[in-house]
Amino acid sequence: MKSNALGSLGAVSRLTLGGGGIGQAWGLTDRDEAVATLKAAVEAGIDLIDTAPMYLNCEAVVGETFQGAPPPHVRFTTKCALGSPPVGETAARLEASLAATLAAMRLERIDVFFLHSSIAPDGYAYAHGDARRDAFSTRWSTYVDEVVPAFERLTAQGRIGAWGITGIGVPQSVLAALEQQPRPAVAQVITNLLDSAGGIRRFAEPADPRTILAAATARGVGVMGIRAVQAGALTSALDRAVSPNNPDAKDYERAAPFRALCRDWGEVPAVVAHRYALGLPGVDTLVLGVKNRDELQQALAAEAAGPLAVDQLARIEQLGLRT
């Protein structure tokens, strides 16, 4: 497994095991297979595990698997879907979320703690779900005045190694967060050949992930690429029932020419999609949404194969699939 520097954290494996799959958030799997997948990932050289409380059973699986004594080279991230709490409550909510995570995973510290809410300007109106914006979105003023200071305190206390943001919010706010000081050590950024955030994009503007990726790289912020297969839209078949109106289902339909191209090449779409994402400049490590060992093996094969050839990239871009 190749490694790469992830901002101030230093070298990490080019693949990160995401918690959504082993937590049973992405299609069906069972507890035994989740544990086996986690163990297989570490044995294959993956040394960064990306978790979150909202990934259902994920943090409990980590705690059960390692019993509080993970291999010393393995590092962990977690997240807090903070939203926009009342003024003065942010620090307490972040600390409570962190404490619950540490208890579930049986750890004493977390290497990176992410704000997992969309960041948006104060008073911003979302195109979808605006009535619930305080549940999924953090106001800019809350981010600057409360989130960043709280993260900085947790870092100074040694309870976290660093902090980051999930860069899926309103692009102008994500870019502003990458610009100002203190800035996050790590950002999670959409990295797929559709440039799509699918169902997690609630704003009307283009998601603009490549501009965000370039901005993070230019400022020395480590980048964890996410959604390489866009919630299954870039695989052979969706692994869960979704409404035809779901943005992920629409992305799956839009990606039909990509699957046809992969058939012509005799390639597995998920492998090609992972190779594409790994080849994007600035991606330090790619977070996998795999839920079993078969899917893990496809991702490992993609990493071993390396970036796509120039002519393959050209063929994909000629499909005109980017949003």
Listed range (54-58, 94-98, 198-202, 232-236) with the worst mean pLDDT: 54-58
Number of H helices and E strands in the chain, helices first, is 14, 12
pLDDT for 203-259, tens place per residue? Answer: 999 999 999 999 999 999 999 999 999 999 999 998 888 899 999 999 999 999 999
The pLDDT of residue 181: 96
Contact 177, 221 (CB under 8 A): no
Q: 3-class DSSP state for residue 148?
A: helix
The pLDDT of residue 27 is: 67
- Of 31-35, 137-141, 172-176, 260-264, minimum mean pLDDT range: 31-35
Residue ranges of the domains in the chain? 3-318
Provide the residue count of the chain.
323
% residues pLDDT > 90 (the chain):
91
Strands 285-288 and 15-18: parallel
pLDDT at 26 over 80: no
Share of the chain above pLDDT 70, in %: 99
pLDDT tens figures, 170-212: 999 999 999 999 999 999 999 999 999 998 999 999 999 999 9
Q: How confident is the model at residue 159 (pLDDT cuts 50, 70, 90)?
A: very high
User: CB neighbours of 150 closer than 8 A, spacing ≥ 6?
Assistant: 90, 91, 94, 95
Q: Which CATH class is domain 3-318?
A: alpha beta
What span, in angstroms and rounded, lies between the C-alpha atoms of 136 and 317?
Answer: 33
Residue 265, amino acid: W
